[in-house]
């Protein structure tokens, strides 16, 4: 069921989303050669809790950590570990925070030091594909228009679209209806309405988008071992577009 959020709920979602944003900004300068992903996870969890929130993903369907840390070819749900980041890696931090029962969800891919041209290209155009998808978020459009725009942009840049994973509604659950696919025909799916809150999150690959699951039953990786990037914002549909909830707080909402 797709729910329309009240102004009071949107205010709580805005606070949760802002904590997610601030956690990204807190961790970003620490994403450097030599730090372990476990340390980043520890610092991120501590920061989320200091803001009075709980990490949305810890315990979500059994996921054991606060933050998902996916390195290089890992697409999503990488486990924080003793792996030390190296110059030339890319890492996606997928962060969720819950404030008074309402969630925010945002993933971002970061470069560690200097990365090669393939990774630079992948990051730049995966980020752009998120905003191409978001351009479709306004009343009158349909959910399928988002995925159509993402896929069209990805394919125009020879990037692979991971189809097994998708965006989603956000509210009192971190994953709610509707599913927001990153592919498919436009003009399909539920109508986008003011007050809907969704996470748009393209996951693109530099090579073939086929994936496999690690033995830990969580981490999703590309079969060909080529890199993957992932950018995600939680947004609320407004009268004529959208407001990013996992960005900086706007003075007048």
Site residues for Mg ion per CB under 5 A: 94, 105, 107, 199, 232
Closest approach, Cβ 40 to Mg ion, in A, equals: 16
Closest approach, Cβ 24 to Mg ion, in A, equals: 11
Query: CA-CA distance, 208 to 224, in Å (whole number)?
Result: 7
Q: With respect to Mg ion, which residue has the nearer C-beta, 151 or 176?
A: 176
Q: With respect to Mg ion, which residue has the nearer C-beta, 131 or 240?
A: 131
Query: CA-CA distance, 118 to 235, in Å (whole number)?
Result: 29
Q: What residues contact 190, with CB distance under 8 A and at least 6 apart? A: 2, 142, 143, 178
Closest approach, Cβ 92 to Mg ion, in A, equals: 9
Closest approach, Cβ 61 to Mg ion, in A, equals: 13
* Edge-to-edge strand list for the sheet holding 203-205: 160-161, 203-205, 228-230
**Alpha carbon distances (Å) from 95 to 51, 65, 71:** 14, 10, 15
What's 84-151 look like in SS3? ECCCCCEEEEEEEEEECCEEEEEEEEEECCCCCHHHHHHHHHHHHHHHHHHCCCCECEEHHHHHHHHH
Q: With respect to Mg ion, which residue has the nearer C-beta, 12 or 75?
A: 75
Closest approach, Cβ 87 to Mg ion, in A, equals: 26
Closest approach, Cβ 234 to Mg ion, in A, equals: 8
Query: CA-CA distance, 141 to 108, in Å (whole number)?
Result: 26
The token duo for 27 is 């961790």
- Residue 146 and residue 137 in contact, taking contact as beta carbons nearer than 8 Å: yes
Q: With respect to Mg ion, which residue has the nearer C-beta, 26 or 88?
A: 26
Q: With respect to Mg ion, which residue has the nearer C-beta, 7 or 62?
A: 62
Query: CA-CA distance, 138 to 105, in Å (whole number)?
Result: 20
Closest approach, Cβ 167 to Mg ion, in A, equals: 6
Q: With respect to Mg ion, which residue has the nearer C-beta, 94 or 221?
A: 94
* Edge-to-edge strand list for the sheet holding 74-76: 74-76, 220-222, 211-213
Q: With respect to Mg ion, which residue has the nearer C-beta, 12 or 107?
A: 107
């Amino acid at each position: 069921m797709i729910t329309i959020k009240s102004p009071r709920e949107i205010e709580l979602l805005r606070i949760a989303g802002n904590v997610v944003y601030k956690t990204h900004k807190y961790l970003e300068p620490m994403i450097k050669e030599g730090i372990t992903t476990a340390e980043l996870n520890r610092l991120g969890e501590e920061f989320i809790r200091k803001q009075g929130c709980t990490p949305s993903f810890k315990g979500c369907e059994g996921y054991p950590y606060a933050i998902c840390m996916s390195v290089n070819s890992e697409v999503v749900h990488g486990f924080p570990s003793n792996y030390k980041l190296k110059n030339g890696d890319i890492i996606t931090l997928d962060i969720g925070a819950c404030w008074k029962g309402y969630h925010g969800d945002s993933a971002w891919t970061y470069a560690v030091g200097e990365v090669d041209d393939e990774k630079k290209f992948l990051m730049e155009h995966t980020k752009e594909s998120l905003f191409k998808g978001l351009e479709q978020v306004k009343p009158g459009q349909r959910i399928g228009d988002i995925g159509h725009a993402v896929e069209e942009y990805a394919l125009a840049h020879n990037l692979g679209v991971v189809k097994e994973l998708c965006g989603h509604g956000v509210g009192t659950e971190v994953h709610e209806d509707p599913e927001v696919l990153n592919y498919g025909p436009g003009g399909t799916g539920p109508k986008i309405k003011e007050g809907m809150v969704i996470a748009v999150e393209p996951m693109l690959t530099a090579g073939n988008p086929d994936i496999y699951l690690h033995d830990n039953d969580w981490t999703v990786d590309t079969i060909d071992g080529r890199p993957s990037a992932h950018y995600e914002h939680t947004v609320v549909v407004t009268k004529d577009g959208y407001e990013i909830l996992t960005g900086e707080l706007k003075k007048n909402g």
